[in-house]
Amino acid sequence: MSRVDHRHRHLERIAEVRAGRSAEKVPYPIRIRETAVVRKEMVGSGLLRVTLGGPGAAGFEAHSPDEHVKLVFPDPDGTLRLPEPNGQTLRWPRPSPTSREYTVRRYDPAAGEIDIDVALHDGGLGSEWALTVEPGEVVHVAGPPGGLIVPHGYDRYLLAGDITALPAIARWLEELPRTAAGWAFIEVADATQEIPLSAPEDVEVHWLHRGDVPPGVGGVLERAVRTVSVPEGERVYAWIAGEAGALKPLRRWVRDELGLAKEDHDITGYWKRGVADFDDDHDH
């Protein structure tokens, strides 16, 4: 009996959306994988890259710059409770196991490696894990559950976020057509957190230094993004992520002043000040 190639179907849908007029979330089959840490390296002073590999990474899928995976951690008593395959999705145990969500920074099918760039901050579970995990240690990875596929035919792209959004913005800039135009605004503490980016020539990259102001306050990102002026008659796609509260005025600005329709923007709170395991609309 010939296998029904579900994979082929969603790859076709991704290609259709990318060539079409409006963005769409396209689900991929959701897997749980046992991977191992291959190596770690700092990317600027703010991101710690953890590279995962091993046989379990084979066949991983990566199609969207802001797709994410969940890293599943053992319970405080050391018990590891993993989701189970359930057709094209996963069945999660109740109560949910401890997990943290990260953008897929890169997947290299030839090497069988997945890069996860962890934004370091004091006291965070993911930060502590990334700092202490050693090469060879096992990591369970769930997802991605799919991703937002954005057409490559917009006249301009507006990308903005803080360091938690930097892995996705870096991937956006790599994966956009080289003919793409637009702006990228990235709020970091200072120049040490800046990283090399592969942006198309006509995308202006603006690094915004927050200085001593705590992350998620201060309005640096909002003020910079509001300077954008879209040429008359051009179609723009806006992708903005970062601290949930800081994004509220930008949500209004994108809707009311830029006048972007729902399908022409995606604004996501990646974290919230004072909340350890904030989850906006990402779900597996």
Q: What share of the chain has pLDDT > 70, as a percent? A: 94
| CA–CA separation, 251 and 274 (whole Å) | 21
CATH of 152-271, one of 3.90.79.10, 3.40.50.80, 3.30.1130.10, 3.40.50.300: 3.40.50.80
Q: Which fold has domain 10-147?
A: Elongation Factor Tu (Ef-tu); domain 3 (2.40.30)
| CA–CA separation, 142 and 70 (whole Å) | 5
Handedness of CA 143, 245, 249, 186 (dihedral sign): negative
Global pTM?
0.93
pLDDT in tens, 205-254: 999 999 988 888 879 999 999 999 999 999 999 999 999 999 999 999 99
pLDDT in tens, 172-200: 999 999 999 999 999 999 999 999 999 99
